[in-house]
Amino acid sequence: MKPEETLDPDDWEEARRVGHLMIDDMLDYLITVRERPAWRSVPGETKTALDEPAPMDGAPLSEVYDTFKTHVLPYPTGNLHPGFFGWVMGNGTVTGMLADMLASGMNPHVGGYDQAAALVERQVIAWFAELMGYPNGASGLLVTGATMANINALAVARNEKAGFDIRERGLQHESAPKLRLYGSVETHNWILKACELMGLGRDAYRAAPVNDAYQIDIDACRAAIKQDIENGDKPFCLLGSAGTVNTGAIDNLAGLRALADEFDLWFHIDGAFGSLAALSPQARPLVEAQAQADSIAFDLHKWGYMPYDVGCVLVRDTGVHEAAFKQTPSYLSSTTRGLSVETTYFADKGVQLSRSFRALKVWMSLKEQGAQKIGRLIQQNIDQAKYLEGLVRADDDLEVLAPVSLNIVCFRYCRHEDDADWNAVNEEILLRIQESGSAVPSQTILDGNFAIRVCITNHRTRIEDLDQLAKDVVRHGRDVVSAG
């Protein structure tokens, strides 16, 4: 008989040596992050190395690790770098990194069960319910990110407010009314993915216009709801944004709560990053009304500074949350003793059955850093955004393109006395800055104008990085215009 095999190391001492080396190398990598370019493009030889046939024969771990060090580690998106301000990306922490290693080492299945990992996730959910002002005992689930958290909440909203048994009958039966939901034109594009995926169709979503501060126009939204009801459609959900992706605008959340009540709609808040402002005592009033929502979705891998991927959905009422997902096939039934106590505690709150221990990094980060320190860093980012806004306003050649309500500054280079295609100029400035490796802002279009968009969710950013960025924009702007 052939000897049986296992995937445990043949040589545990060698595994220990390589493992320790990985930790040392990774800490060095984090210590020196400021010394490297914020971003550089992936060279051809790495593209070739990462495009090979499936390896049929294995290789020693140390060799595989060397290839990682040569070809993978040096070419990141750059989101760890202090000069990274693109989109809404997080940076991660040493604690989060180590916790992810522990979680993978322990590798529990967190669908539920009588195990400590499930209690850790329950604990984390309870902490965030408390921090967001939600009632004790609110339901929640950790998921991969705000997209999935929002979709989870939308499924709950639909189940609760459709007015018929959507789980049994779906949307295809003849008397099903056209379900409608409402938000603003500034809502993140997760909403369109959700409408497509859930069979609602994109046209189920009514996007209300926004005011000058990029907040939803509540009166226009009310008019749209009334019109749909007159047409025999069934409005079921109203969406608010606590921090829009373009400009960081926070909708009038209390006003939206009242509007939802007027028409018996579910009120959900997409607070992907903005909800976390609740952790800063100064910023908390901006989002305080989120505590009145029926559900909230937010990310911890953005403004919670934790490693990818982890987002959270909170649902005020546990019964309503489970009513949208719970199923009990015989092979997942719970017993009163043994391992299978509350077998599907978490699986009953979402789509995933097998689930990773992503709660561990959240639990360890909060315990080590404390919610107050995370709140201070969030406030630091808000103050940095205000500082950058000040620099832009003080420079005649720079122009703020949207109010700065949180941590996002949208601006451009523009000398009105010159005749230039400012959209093309600013795109070129942005690309030059990214390619120089000094910083990574991203872009958006506001009112037809190309904006250099700086979103600060970065615990490594310092004021000097923003001084440098403002100088670089002006310098590149002059070069681009004088080169025609």
Ligand X SMILES: *Cc1c(COP(=O)(O)O)cnc(C)c1O
Binding positions for ligand X, rule: CB under 6 A: 88, 145-147, 188, 190, 243, 245, 270, 272-273, 299, 311
Handedness of CA 416, 417, 422, 426 (dihedral sign): negative
If DSSP codes are grouped into helix, strand and coil, which group holds residue 61?
helix
Tell me the one-letter amino acid at 154: L
3 state DSSP class of 398:
strand
We find the least distance from the C-beta atom of residue 49 to ligand X, in angstroms, to be: 28
b/e per residue 291-305 (b: at least 16 CB within 10 A): bbbbbbbbbbbbbbb
Measured CA to CA, the distance from residue 313 to residue 239 in angstroms comes to: 14
Residue 222 CB coordination number (10 Å): 15
Q: How far is the CB of 243 from ligand X (least distance, A)?
A: 6
Q: What is the smallest separation between the CB atom of 145 and ligand X, expressed in angstroms?
A: 3
User: Quick one: 272 or 440, whose CB is closer to ligand X?
Assistant: 272
Residue from 457, 461, 465 nearest 245 by CA: 457
Residue 283 Cβ, how far from ligand X at the closest point, in Å? 16
Q: Closest distance between ligand X and the C-beta of residue 455, in Å?
A: 8
Please name the residue that has the structure tokens 């939802």: 260
What minimum distance in Å lies between the beta carbon of 412 and ligand X? Answer: 21
CB 483 to ligand X: min, Å: 35
Paired with 183 in beta bridges are 207
Rounded CA separation 47/25 (Å): 23
Q: Tell the smallest beta-carbon distance from residue 110 to ligand X (Å).
A: 19
CB closest to ligand X, residue no: 145
Instruction: Kindly tell me which of 110 and 245 has the beta carbon lying closer to ligand X.
Output: 245
Indicate the residue among 81 and 188 with the shorter CB distance to ligand X: 188
Could you tell me the two tokens for 258? Answer: 């009242």
Distance of closest approach, residue 193 Cβ to ligand X, in angstroms: 10
User: Which CB atom, from 29 or from 87, has the smaller least distance to ligand X?
Assistant: 87
CA 129 to chain centre: 18
* Of 188 and 412, CB closest to ligand X: 188
The tokens describing 40, both together, are 């550089």
Q: Which is nearer to ligand X, 90 or 112 (CB)?
A: 90
Residues in the chain, overall count: 484
In the complex, what is the shortest distance from the CB of residue 188 to ligand X, in angstroms, rounded to a whole number? 3
What's the rounded Cα separation, in Å, for the pair 306 and 308?
Answer: 7
Give alpha helix (H) positions in 132-283: 146-161, 166-169, 190-197, 218-230, 253-262
